[in-house]
Amino acid sequence: MEKKVRVRFAPSPTGGLHLGGVRTVLFNYLFAKHNGGDFILRIEDTDQTRFVEGAEEYIFECLKWCGIEPDESVLHGGPHAPYRQSERKALYKEYADRLVKEGYAYYAFDTAEELDVKRKEIPNFQYSHATRTGLKNSLTLPPDETLKLLDEQTPYVIRIKMPDNEEVSFTDMIRGHVSFNSSLVDDKVLLKADGMPTYHLAVVVDDHLMEITHAFRGEEWLPSAPVHVLLWKYLFGLENMPEWAHLPLILKPDGNGKLSKRDGDRLGFPVFAMNWTDPRSNEFTQGFRERGFLPEAFINMLALLGWNDGTDQEIYSLQELVEKFTMDRVHKGGAKFNYDKAKWFNQEWIKRYSTEQLKPYVKAALAEQGISIPDESKLDRIIELVKDRCTLLSDFAPQSSFFFQHPAEVDITAIKPKWDDKKQQFFAELIRTLELTPVWKHDDLDKEFKEMAAAHQIKPGELMLPLRIMLVGGKFGPGVFDIAEIIGKEQTIERIKNTLKLISNA
- Assess contact for 97 and 87: CB atoms under 8 A: no
Task: Count Cβ neighbours within 10 Å for each residue of 150-170 and write b for 16 or more, e otherwise.
Answer: eeeeeebbbbbbbeeeeebeb
Whether cis (ω within 30° of 0) applies to the bond prior to 82 is: yes
Q: What's the burial of 223, exposed, middle or buried (CB within 10 Å: 0-12/13-18/19+)?
A: exposed
DSSP-derived secondary structure letter, 23: H
User: CA 165, CA 162: separation in Å to the nearest integer?
Assistant: 9
What are the φ/ψ torsions at residue 217 (nearest 5 degrees)? -155, 170
Identity of the amino acid at 327: M
> What is d(CA 46, CA 28) in angstroms, rounded to the nearest whole number?
22
Q: How far is CA 225 from CA 40, 124, 171, 281, 441, in A?
A: 21, 21, 11, 34, 70
Number of Cβ within a 10 Å radius of residue 3: 10
Q: Which residues are catalytic?
A: 261
Q: How far lies 216's CA from each of 6, 273, 337, in Å?
A: 11, 20, 20
Is 261 labeled as ligand-binding? yes
The phi, psi pair for 51, rounded to 5°, reads: -65, 135
Provide DSSP, 422-436.
Answer: HHHHHHHHHHHHHHH
Question: What sign has the CA pseudo-torsion 97, 8, 246, 50?
Answer: negative
CA 374 from chain center: how many Å? Answer: 36
Distance CA 243, CA 171 (A): 8
- Which has the closest alpha carbon to 391: 301, 473, 303, 475? 301
Beta strands in 167-234 (DSSP E): 167-172, 176-181, 189-191, 214-218
For the annotated binding site for ATP, the residues are: 261
